[in-house]
Structure 1
Amino acid sequence: MKPLNKVKIEWSPKFAYAIGLIVTDGNLSGDGRHISFTSKDYDLAFLYKECLELDNIVGKKSRVAGAEKIYSIVQFGDVSFYKFLLSIGLTPNKSKTIGKLKVPRKYFYHFLRGCFDGDGNINEFKHRESQHTQLRVRFFSASKKFVDWLRGNTIKNGIKGYYGSVGKKKSVYVLEFAKADSIKLLNLIYKENCGIFLERKYLVAKKYLLAWRNWYTRLP
């Protein structure tokens, strides 16, 4: 029987998805033991707990003392899992320092789906002149090294994103994909997804799945 609140360290679609969530919304404490995950989206926190097969409840917290508790949080201690996260490239206070991670290629797009559900979005808008629907898939990170690493992995499938920066101090980097590449990327992110995804984002993406067949491009 698996000990309470202990994570089975074995790569799988669910495990890779959870690692993606930790990268975007997780935190490694400085004590070498505790890992926390915080999100405004309760469903995402529940998915995280489910993927790691945790028995913890999903708690509630606020960013400021006395304020409404609108954030969902899952926190637990596991020294072995903590050390594993360090071994693949995660660190405490990782936001600006994270770079290349040791994620098996086989599970990269499951991992990326976790990143997408955590800190990505789909932007739909009308072209000013043609009024045709335009599409952009975007990932956000405070680390340019991490954005570069993500881009290097999608390029291996012929999907060429480009990046810029946003915010008052241009301190947040954005990896963005144009329409054709966004469609190809969504098809890889949701391919054989084992039902593990944030439903509200999937419902937006769903209309574009298999839409690449209508383009002159093809998935490698």
Structure 2
Amino acid sequence: MPKPKLPDKDFKWTPELAYAIGLLTTDGNLSKNGRNITMRSSDTQLLKTFKKCLDLTTKITQSRNDGWAKKPCYRIQFSNVQFYRWLLKIGLFPAKTYTIGKIKIPDKYFQDFLRGHLDGDGSVWTYKDYYNTYKNPKYIYTRLYTRFISASKIHIEWIKENIRRLLPINGRLYQRNPRRPDQTTSMWEVKFAKKESIKLLSWLYYHSDVPCLKRKRKIAEKFI
């Protein structure tokens, strides 16, 4: 006899779960078989944090690169039918890259979700700007930028609007044309300059032990 179908299950939101959903939104994949979930990254520390957030025992294994990646890629793959169905309910689905839209995240946990999104496909960077030193040697400025990236315009506009609504700060939306031969569609990004980035990063790293990618937090800590 076939096994009885498992009932749907609503998972309780926590900061750790919301962070993991942010990672799955950017770097995760739902297979078409209705049960397998894969998370990929070139950073094993990120995958270990993901494992801890979801209390997984699955091993981290090396994965194939797409041919353009310069670093080795690693992955976690696990099977959970109830969790898979719940991910579908909140807005994730197979082959989501170009068509993903809003994710059903409670406002209370949006900053944790967003930190996962940042650690997956976003970036935080800083540099010294010497452009105006020809006018005066003292005109040296420390720049700071934060950005979130998606191949789906609808999704990145939702990210931008939620940040504006909850903080509120306003980022600039950009369209990036394909840069590699294997890319056929544009990427979308919302970008925040220094003043807005400081407020945003202070909000994301609201406690010393929140799950995060350590190397990005290290950059942020210089300003918050």
Map of 1:150 onto structure 2: 159
Q: Distance in 1 between matches of 2:215 and 2:108?
A: 26
Map of 1:38 onto structure 2: 40
Q: Distance in 1 between matches of 2:126 and 2:172?
A: 17
Q: Distance in 2 between matches of 1:35 and 1:81?
A: 9
Q: Distance in 1 between matches of 2:15 and 2:175?
A: 30
Q: Is the 8 A contact 1:13 1:194 kept in 2?
A: no
Pairwise CA RMSD? 2.1
Q: Percent identity?
A: 41
Q: Distance in 2 between matches of 1:39 and 1:195?
A: 19
Cα 1:69–1:110 change in 2 (3 A) is closer
Counterpart amino acid of residue 63 in structure 1:
N
Map of 1:163 onto structure 2: 173
Map of 2:198 onto structure 1: 183
Q: CA deviation at 1:23?
A: 0.4
- Among 78, 97, 100, the alignment partner of 1:98 is 100
Q: Is the 8 A contact 1:59 1:72 kept in 2?
A: yes
Uncovered stretches (5+) of structure 2, i.e. residues with no partner:
1-8, 133-138
Q: Deviations over 1:10-54 (max 9, x none)?
A: 210100000000001100001111100011111111111110000
Q: CA deviation at 1:158?
A: 1.6
Map of 1:70 onto structure 2: 72
- Which of the two has higher C-alpha Rg? 2
- Among 94, 110, 113, the alignment partner of 1:111 is 113
Counterpart amino acid of residue 183 in structure 1:
I
| TM norm structure 2 | 0.85
Q: CA deviation at 1:134?
A: 1.1
Q: Is the 8 A contact 2:42 2:71 kept in 1?
A: no
Q: Distance in 2 between matches of 1:44 and 1:106?
A: 23
Q: Is the 8 A contact 1:142 1:173 kept in 2?
A: yes
Q: Deviations over 1:97-153 (max 9, x none)?
A: 111110000000000000011111112133322321111101111011111001111
Cα 1:150–1:69 change in 2 (3 A) is closer
Q: Distance in 1 between matches of 2:118 and 2:213?
A: 9
Map of 2:63 onto structure 1: 61
Counterpart amino acid of residue 53 in structure 2:
C
Q: Distance in 2 between matches of 1:123 and 1:46?
A: 23
Which SS does the other structure have where 2:221 is aligned? helix
Q: Distance in 1 between matches of 2:66 and 2:46?
A: 22
Cα 1:93–1:64 change in 2 (3 A) is closer
Number of corresponding residues: 202
Structure 1 residue ranges (4+ consecutive) displaced by more than 4 angstroms after TM superposition? none
Q: Distance in 1 between matches of 2:70 and 2:82?
A: 34
